Amino acid sequence: MFESQRATTPRVPVEERLFSLVLALLASEQGLTKSEILSTVQGYRQKFVRGGDNTSLERQFERDKDDVRELGIPLETVEPPGETGNNQLLRYRIPKGEYDLPAEVVFSPAEIAVLSLAGAVWREGSMSDESQRALHKLRSLGVESSDPLIGYAPRLRTRESAFGPLNSAMDRRLEVSFDYLKPGAEHARRRRVAPLALVQHEGRWHVHGIDRDAEAPRTFLLSRILGAVVTTRRSFTEDNAGCAERALADLRALYEGQCALLEVRANTEAERRLVTRALERAEVPLRVHYTDVNVFADELAGYGPEVRVIEPAALRDAVIERLRRTLANHGPQERAAREETR
């Protein structure tokens, strides 16, 4: 199986090739050149043609390199001194010190239990995959978790399909583009954005970034991104350290700066939802903060007659406008007119 020359090339599974690549690069202190990798590492060497055309094998290696880096493995490229620009002499390596979990990072059984609960928070999607892998790494330390409370399951959703691509683009520092239906608008518009942070505020996911058309910071609701997020090849250079905390602080300031006065019917869905967020639970009418007038108007319109906006006027008008559109859509005349045109 390990002879380098064979009449028939055995098919080496992807994970075996990737595992062999990581082991080879970890073992080599000065690094390996691409041609050394392709000619000697298990999974490549079987397909390597000495002195021939290895273009597709090289592409395979490029993809594998990306896969390895996606897992957070520090696969480095080293240029030999005095030989800058010569791709053939580039060396690849994984420095052991950057790969190993630092010795001072240790976790107690109680800490493992808390982290397991934190990892289980993600119900689906890329965050769930990421935390699953992180929990496997934690478990590889061999520390048993102390007993968690069975049946206690705090969960966060990242249902929006935009979340995964945005998180990945942010990590790879690549700009994205997407169609965005701004709250209150009727038509979507294409946006080009350098994604700097993903934050959840008031139960909604937002991406904060630089809008390339406006060249200014903007925050978008993920639920209003329509269609697919396209990851471009354009990288961005903005430093985003601390961006998530700042974006949350901005949203919090917006939230605290706006307050609605609402008349809410007792013992209704609207009351139960709004009371938790009210400044004073027992007050009549209720005072409730909000972040965006259009997003809040959507929510309030959903409560129908259970809530009436006293002020501000802009929120009141926005709710009335939505209710009118809904009524117009569902009136008997509207139905008849549609039937005729179909």
Partner 1 sequence: MTKSTTRTGAGLQGRDRLAFLLVLVPYLIEHEQVSVADAAEHFGVNESLIRESVTLIAVSGVPGETSAYQHEDLFDIDWDLFEQRDQIVLTRLVVIDDSPRFSAREAAALIAGLQYLSALPGSSDDEVIGSLMSKLAIGASGRPTEVAVAASPATAALVPVRDALAQRRELSFDYLSADGRTEHRTVDPLRVESLDRDWYLRGWCHLRQAVRTFRLDRMSRVEIGENQAQHGADDLSVPSDFFQPSASDLTVTVDIDTAALPMIAEFFTADSQVREEGGRSLVNLRLGHVHGFKRVVASLGGLAEVTDPGTAREEVAAWASEALAGYGL
Contact (CB, 8 A) for 169 and 176: yes
Site residue total, partner 1 (CB under 8 A): 138
Is residue 49 near partner 1 by the rule CB under 8 A? no
Report how far residue 208's alpha carbon sits from residue 194's, in angstroms, rounded to the nearest whole number: 9
Q: Which residue has the tokens 């202190």?
A: 29
CB of 59 to partner 1, least distance (A): 13
Binding-site member from 129, 238, 256, 311 for partner 1 (CB under 8 A): 129
**Collapsing DSSP states into helix, strand and coil, what is residue 201?**
strand
Is residue 203 near partner 1 by the rule CB under 8 A? yes
Is residue 202 near partner 1 by the rule CB under 8 A? yes
Report how far residue 21's alpha carbon sits from residue 23's, in angstroms, rounded to the nearest whole number: 6
Task: Find the binding residues for partner 1 in span 280-309 (CB under 8 A).
Answer: 297-299, 301-305, 308
Determine the straight-line distance between the first and last CA of the chain, rounded to whole angstroms.
67
Task: Find the binding residues for partner 1 in span 319-338 (CB under 8 A).
Answer: 320-331, 334-335, 338
Is residue 247 near partner 1 by the rule CB under 8 A? yes
Task: Find the binding residues for partner 1 in span 138-167 (CB under 8 A).
Answer: 139-142, 149-157, 159-161, 167
Question: Which alpha helices (DSSP H) does 2-49 contain, by range?
Answer: 14-27, 34-40
CB of 142 to partner 1, least distance (A): 4
CB of 207 to partner 1, least distance (A): 10
Report how far residue 74's alpha carbon sits from residue 54's, in angstroms, rounded to the nearest whole number: 26
Is residue 211 near partner 1 by the rule CB under 8 A? no
Q: Which residue has the tokens 């004073």?
A: 280
Binding-site member from 20, 46, 54, 219 for partner 1 (CB under 8 A): 20
Binding mask 74-103 for partner 1 (x = CB under 8 A): x---------------------x-xxxxx-
Is residue 51 near partner 1 by the rule CB under 8 A? no
Both tokens assigned to 262: 């609402």
**Collapsing DSSP states into helix, strand and coil, what is residue 89?**
helix
Binding-site member from 6, 50, 59, 137 for partner 1 (CB under 8 A): 137
Task: Find the binding residues for partner 1 in span 54-73 (CB under 8 A).
Answer: 63, 67-68, 70-73
Is residue 42 near partner 1 by the rule CB under 8 A? yes
Query: Closest CB to partner 1 among 133 and 234?
Result: 133
| 145 secondary structure, DSSP code | P
Task: Find the binding residues for partner 1 in span 218-237 (CB under 8 A).
Answer: 223-227
**Collapsing DSSP states into helix, strand and coil, what is residue 121?**
coil
Transcribe 204-232 into DSSP letters. Answer: EEEEEEEETTTTEEEEEEGGGEEEEEEEE
CA-based nearest residue to 213, from 175, 270, 267:
175
Report how far residue 115's alpha carbon sits from residue 173's, in angstroms, rounded to the nearest whole number: 27
| 314 secondary structure, DSSP code | H
Give 76's strand partners.
93
Interacting stretch for partner 1, rule CB under 8 A, among 51-59, 79-87, 212-220, 272-280?
272-280
Is residue 210 near partner 1 by the rule CB under 8 A? no
Query: Closest CB to partner 1 among 83 and 136?
Result: 136
